[in-house]
Structure 1
């Protein structure tokens, strides 16, 4: 499989007069070095121009494969009287007699679709577009190529038809291994398995970022083995991805989920679709899963449970935040989808998916269309999960069959599920609940479950945490510290009931809205939970006792 750079070199070899190139800023130095090396190998020259320099520099590669910038005196810009004079380099290159490659940086703001711009801006934009079209026709088969370089290559639709676009993709594992071996920053004694482990840990980063991470690791762990290096690299990668993409990247977490057995069983089956045997039968993971239900019922926690059951990382994204990016929203989504495609086996979780469509504007529709197109055409093993409170806010095309393959209703927990959720949270503070122990009687549990009817998982968590805090304050003097063994913290029925009295559950406070959400989910979604067959089920209560 060709690397991203090889595809660019193919375009250069075919003598395209103008090429649009999209490359991230951190890869700029490597890209310029690669283009300069290509020109030296083919007997051509490479030049670069940008607004900051306002002059042309010649690019070359030294004996140590370092990038060299030399003065170029053939281009002498005239005094700038008009705004378009800043871009007179285009006319110079059209008439220049020598052959080679001229890199023009950061010109895309003037050649993209421009709306609501000033008259002066539109005049300059039209002048630049006309100059590029003239370049395209004048330099055809001349041996001269103009590379338009920027971190986001966006051009008008009419120009896109005549200017090919090259996008620097994230490197695959083999490309990562090849570049790391050539860089000689890791021991040559590594085995093929060592290199593969390193490559998997760094997948999703550009080569420049990977090398930068290795240099940081080398300062603190100069003699680490491959497994230790891979773990440190993964940690740095997670921090970098979170910052670059505004996401929360989580390795498969260890979580406990109370109830929702039907949905969890489906998650375990989905794991089998990642196996080579499933690929032999042309089976693949679902296009998408939608979790529908009132707030606080455990939709985000369910996504983490899916990550745990399938053994693949989880990327959590607030879909509503895309609207805050304005004109950059589609670019942000495009970059994110490229990332998950390269990571391949990963869960992409969109939290509060419906809130991004509350405004019913053009941006929301374009984002939805972009996501749906990707979901339909992707070939990677990315599982998309979206949580939804109000299905009526979603465009109809999102909920029809063939879009999201599975819709699960994540409902208010029944008595048996609330019992399990209480025990899970109580075990964090009270040792008596650990190892499947249960210090309370059935009647005591019935008091709690009756009092917490219509409470969701997040509210139960709050009740337990506040009760533990209250008991801690009564058993421990203020501002005291002791190194001796701490007395056990034991939760009481009375403390839990007191905390319950102090909160007003959402399903009671906003009963009409919550019931509307549940009814909408009932109409289209599959149940997530089995019928309550526990001893605390409503049908098992003796009303005559």
Structure 2
């Protein structure tokens, strides 16, 4: 049910007080005035602390700086005309005994007369004595249709170089999702001033604004990535799975009826490329990448951790379509640790697991973990993720590719002169991260001697490196056994 329909139902059902969560007062007022009032022939009165009531039939600025008088106006106004009263800044007065008592006194009047109070604020703060009488309704950020309408309005009102191409409009709309209409207007206005056109140059401006919004929350990080799947060696099965779904969030896929994927759980030892893949997926699918450090969700005050988790979910959904990277999930949700904090971790896990299973918005979750056995069953059971892939130690062929990727990065002109097959043979049981480190070690050695590094330098670095599979062979054997057991899908 869209916001307008839900609000109309509450108004027609004579709900006395509605608390609407939004940071967009002007857009909400415009929506109510043009889509609600016109349908129900209601009168609309808007009050704020500084200006009092606007468009008031009694006198200008009536009840300014006087919230009690604002409620008395509602009580005394003509009861025959269906009326809506929008009260801004009013949550600050709800804790006042006089205001709280006055609201409860006029509740019965509001139920029998066609009057509804709408309190507008971005945060919920309702005293216990009023909770049973107030209904909370969320006014979401602009939909793709609303953003599209704003772009159309701009194109008509301004003379721009070039035209809006459909594909470009779709990309701009996708990038704008998660921002308020006012911020979208400012960004588009800035783009017009700088470029005098609407093209791909507007996308970085939008992403910069998103990065600022996310950094203010202190819960999520916005990552700018330029890593593609070509920078990941091996993982052929996983790459094929991802390629099949590369356009899953496009308008064409939605019109086809495809269901957006929920996400992936990537299991593997340290250095096998889990984090690299998370970045590559976001880059390949043209999605903004948000990184969640689960430790940031936890706070010392009782109930605040669960509140932070819900806030993280709200922010993530507001920025959809996007990719959410949850790194090293096993470090937080290890079964052995969850009984030591009074149940806080279990409650956070429950909130997160429920969201993973039931989310309807296009948020693709990429979770990584080193140890499958540490993860609780609530996370790994079917329905949370589309697939669980195991990233094992690279094969000989994969090691050739990984060496080539790193050498091409460090020596794009001369990478072919290195014997990657010989290097691959010498680096048996090395992870991708360990292979990269051997190349860097060889570069340091050659730089000290003021010469170019060679294949022999890398071979020497390989011989000096002890891979994790030799440091902890029993654990490595267990990890490698996960894929052969059939419990996990080989990447």
Q: 2:456 aligns with which of 493, 496, 521?
A: 493
The change in CA–CA distance for 1:458 and 1:199 in structure 2 (over 3 A counts) is same
Cα deviation digits, residues 112-151 of structure 1 (max 9, x gap)? xxxxxxxxxxxx5999777655443332243433223221
Cα distance in 2 between the residues matched to 1:425 and 1:220: 38
The CA deviation at 1:262 is: 1.8
In the other structure, the counterpart of 2:186 is 212
Counting only pairs closer than 5 Å after superposition, residues 94-243 of structure 1 correspond to structure 2 as: 95-97=75-77, 101-105=85-89, 107=91, 132-153=103-124, 163-182=134-153, 187=158, 190-191=163-164, 193=166, 195-221=169-195, 223=196, 225-243=197-215
In the other structure, the counterpart of 2:278 is 303
Cα distance in 1 between the residues matched to 2:5 and 2:150: 14
The change in CA–CA distance for 1:192 and 1:496 in structure 2 (over 3 A counts) is closer
The CA deviation at 1:21 is: 0.7
**3-state SS, counterpart of residue 199 of structure 2:** helix
Cα deviation digits, residues 467-504 of structure 1 (max 9, x gap)? 2233234327xxxxxxxxxxxx4434235524762x55
Cα deviation digits, residues 384-437 of structure 1 (max 9, x gap)? 221112333322122123332311111222333223212211222234654xx3
Cα distance in 1 between the residues matched to 2:249 and 2:191: 32
Cα distance in 2 between the residues matched to 1:415 and 1:95: 80
The change in CA–CA distance for 1:105 and 1:500 in structure 2 (over 3 A counts) is farther
In the other structure, the counterpart of 2:62 is 72
In the other structure, the counterpart of 2:16 is 17
Cα distance in 2 between the residues matched to 1:178 and 1:150: 25
C-alpha contact 1:21 1:149 (8 A) present in aligned 2: yes
Deviation larger for 191-200 or 261-270? 191-200
Cα deviation digits, residues 183-214 of structure 1 (max 9, x gap)? 67962664573655543332232211111212
Cα distance in 2 between the residues matched to 1:524 and 1:148: 55
Deviation larger for 507-516 or 283-292? 507-516
Cα distance in 1 between the residues matched to 2:42 and 2:487: 61
In the other structure, the counterpart of 2:310 is 331
C-alpha contact 1:20 1:163 (8 A) present in aligned 2: yes
Structure 2 residue runs of 5 or longer lacking an equivalent are none
Kindly report the root-mean-square deviation, in angstroms, between the aligned alpha carbons of the 2 structures.
4.2
In the other structure, the counterpart of 2:357 is 376
In the other structure, the counterpart of 1:258 is 233
C-alpha contact 2:164 2:198 (8 A) present in aligned 1: no
Cα distance in 2 between the residues matched to 1:34 and 1:278: 30
C-alpha contact 2:248 2:254 (8 A) present in aligned 1: yes
The CA deviation at 1:298 is: 0.6
C-alpha contact 1:323 1:356 (8 A) present in aligned 2: no
Residue 475 of structure 1 pairs with residue 450 of structure 2: yes
C-alpha contact 2:93 2:99 (8 A) present in aligned 1: no
Residue 48 of structure 1 pairs with residue 48 of structure 2: yes
The CA deviation at 1:512 is: 5.0
Equivalences, count:
467
The CA deviation at 1:58 is: 1.8
Cα deviation digits, residues 81-119 of structure 1 (max 9, x gap)? xxxxxxx67874674446651415363897xxxxxxxxx
Cα deviation digits, residues 345-381 of structure 1 (max 9, x gap)? x433222122332442544333333333333333444
Cα distance in 2 between the residues matched to 1:260 and 1:311: 20
Cα distance in 2 between the residues matched to 1:468 and 1:70: 76
Cα distance in 1 between the residues matched to 2:91 and 2:258: 44
Cα distance in 1 between the residues matched to 2:400 and 2:96: 66
TM-score by length of 1: 0.71
Cα distance in 2 between the residues matched to 1:186 and 1:251: 35
C-alpha contact 1:46 1:59 (8 A) present in aligned 2: yes
Q: Which has the larger radius of gyration?
A: 1
The change in CA–CA distance for 1:71 and 1:263 in structure 2 (over 3 A counts) is same
In the other structure, the counterpart of 1:59 is 54
Q: 1:463 aligns with which of 438, 442, 451?
A: 438
Cα distance in 2 between the residues matched to 1:363 and 1:39: 45
**3-state SS, counterpart of residue 270 of structure 2:** coil
Cα distance in 1 between the residues matched to 2:271 and 2:131: 47
TM-score by length of 2: 0.77
C-alpha contact 2:423 2:455 (8 A) present in aligned 1: no
Counting only pairs closer than 5 Å after superposition, residues 20-35 of structure 1 correspond to structure 2 as: 20-24=19-23, 27-32=24-29
